[in-house]
Amino acid sequence: MVQQEELLRGIYSESDLLSVQYIEAHGTGTPVGDPIEAGSISKVIAKARPAGSETLRIGSIDPSMLNPRLVFVFCGNGVTYQGMCKQLLKQEPVFREKIREIEALFQRYQRMSITDKLESASNDDGFSKPDVVQPLLFAIQVGIDSLFKHWGIKPDAILGHSVGEVAAAHCSGLLSLEDAVKVIYFRSTLQNKVTGGKMLVVSNMVVSEVLNLLPSYSNKVSLAAFNSPQSCTLSGDAEAIDSLHQKLSSSVKRKNLFLRVLDVPAAYHSQMMDPILSQLEDSIGSLQVNDVETELFSTVTGKVVAQPDFSTGKYWARNIREPVSFEQAVRSAAKENKNVVFVEIGPRRALQRNIQETLGNDTIVLECIHGKAWLSCRNWQFDCSRTLAA
């Protein structure tokens, strides 16, 4: 152990050990060798740090886990809540400045303070309105992505679920921030004009079996999202959704069936969106596209981006009307790679189960807000538990 300690002192003699937060220790894999290495690191590095220093973590990375394919998944509706990301806004200058940049662009269209909404401690009825919630979610997602980039974390692929596609399109490099703000403004404002209908999540039932039930509802119920092979979201006329809900609930053959009516003001991805499609197309028009910096996958097509995806009002009309092809987009982004790490970009987790049902229960899906999230990425690990706290 003495020789190893001397070796470590020599190696780190010119390093600022106070700034070290993580030590990768390969070890020998033996009951004798590993404690010696850990003890040497403790004596040479840990004990030299003054009281109150940040925790020094020791770990190792399995060679088979090096260089995973990192996929950022931008969540859709249903993940926002009052007081989300207040700590990020307070403690992280990069996040705060990006929020302010988005706010300045958004105020060209609407006099709403995104910062005030995020900092507010009082209950706000606006959190149920698309023209409030969607811009807030967009701003948070772009802010979090900017923070990751600041830390040197860059995904290999990006995709977004429903409204999450707006932030995904910008963070991939395809759309400018100005154009992305334009999309989220018109998307959210026009959807705010539509009310009525219901949405129902159906899980633990093969999606094809659910689809077989829809023809009897005379086009009053639409498939809103392919979430996984055994989970989908239905949307449409309130009475028709209630009828289908009752029919599924009373089915004695489906004891493990999970049903949940979503708390949303309108039936998204259904015929209820038809009255605003033309106006959305015209309002957004054509957008300038840039070369993508990160591979982008569409949850409208389920495939890698292709012209004119994301760059026309017609595409964004499809985004609010057609089913979210989330399962197919996840498969496309994974590219049959067994070593894939997904990170949900949003104020809280929503899609882990769907991703694991699609690719397998051993698929790593991390949340970027709350608790510890280790990004095992390109020969290093990053602990976001301290910084990404809501």
Starting at the earlier edge strand, list the strands of the sheet with 157-160.
Answer: 295-297, 157-160, 69-74, 340-345, 364-367
The predicted structure's pLDDT at residue 387: 41
Cα angle for residues 131, 263, 211 (degrees, 5° grid): 110
Q: What are phi and psi of 252, to 5 degrees?
A: -70, -15
Is residue 218's pLDDT more than 60?
yes
pLDDT band at 55 (very low <50, low <70, confident <90, very high): low
Is residue 24's pLDDT more than 70?
no
What proportions of the chain, in percent to the nearest 5, are helix, strand and coil? 40, 15, 40
Q: What percent of the chain has pLDDT above 90?
A: 62
Is residue 43's pLDDT more than 80?
no
Q: Which residues pair with 24 in a beta bridge?
A: 59
Q: Mean pLDDT in the chain? A: 85
The predicted structure's pLDDT at residue 378: 37
Tell me if 171 sits within 8 A of 144, measured CB to CB.
Answer: no
Q: What percent of the chain has pLDDT above 70?
A: 76
Is residue 198's pLDDT more than 70?
yes
Mean pLDDT of 205-214: 95
pLDDT band at 82 (very low <50, low <70, confident <90, very high): confident
Residue 390: half-sphere exposure toward Cβ, Cα within 13 Å = 18
pLDDT in tens, 146-183: 999 998 889 999 999 999 999 999 999 999 999 999 99
Domains and CATH numbers, the chain: 2-60 (no CATH), 69-194+270-383 (3.40.366.10), 198-261 (3.30.70.250)
Is residue 126's pLDDT more than 90?
no
pTM score of the predicted model:
0.81
The predicted structure's pLDDT at residue 128: 80
Q: Using CA of residue 241, residue 243, residue 244, residue 246, what is the dihedral sign? A: positive
